[in-house]
Amino acid sequence: MPYLRLLVDPPAEAAWNMAVDEALLAIAEAPTLRLYAWWPHAVSLGWFQRLADFADLPPGTRIVRRLTGGGAIHHGDELTFALAVDAELLPHEVAASYPLLHDAVKDALASCGIACERLAAGPAPRARPGQRWCFADPGRDDLVTARGKLLGSAQRRVTQPRPRVLHHGSLVLQPPALTPFVASLADAGRPIDRERLRREVAAHVARALGLQVRQGLLSGAEGALAADLCGARYEQAAFTAQR
């Protein structure tokens, strides 16, 4: 059976995280799921958002621009995942791919004893957000609890050198400082088994794609491209401020 390469990375700086994800979108040969976190905590802007709209953030806030659309996210204590695959592994319609992947995460959470729902109504995912914060605007197919939005996702699709998809997802473990209104796994009032959570998310996403999980590492070529992208794009103030 074809496999899903799983990368489990330690917390890393914002620019590096975004550079690795773009490198995976560009040259990963196998379907790849990357699970990671952020340190220091940072804000990622959706591709179409204006940096000027975030001038009120506390001084020293680290800001990076994502390759994917949607609203901004304050990445604190969370499980972030990046799925980089050939487009043929996902439904052709962008909107149809969200319930497939979000149901996989919902089932993974259920396996960990955490209940949530996927919204069946509301606005479809939008590359250009209606509000500046992703988690302030629950929409169709988002995962939610009674407290609010628990999972935020966004995509980037490219056609060259072949049709490819990057799907970003942020699953909140503890509410971050800049968006305390979000739902989180901590709302359940019990310790979070982070290793089990990663394992279940990987297993259920792989199952949804008809693949088996295989642990892997970033290749030399992927790491080299990520380093180039980090220095040339994601660490550059001009790139972050390009809109």
* Strand (E) or helix (H) holding 226: helix 220-229
Amino acid at 40: P
Sheet of strand 42-45, all strands in order from the earlier edge strand to the far edge: 63-65, 42-45, 73-75
CB atoms within 10 A of CB 5: 22
Q: What amino acid positions are annotated as catalytic residues?
A: 134
Alpha-carbon 54 to chain mean position = 20
Burial of 86 (0-12, 13-18, 19+ CB in 10 A): middle
* Strand (E) or helix (H) holding 224: helix 220-229
Alpha-carbon 75 to chain mean position = 10
**3-state helix, strand and coil shares in percent for the chain, rounded to the nearest 5:** 35, 25, 40
Q: Are 117 and 147 in contact (CB under 8 A)?
A: no
Alpha-carbon distance of 45 to 18, in angstroms, equals 11
Helical H segments across 68-211, by residue range: 94-111, 194-209
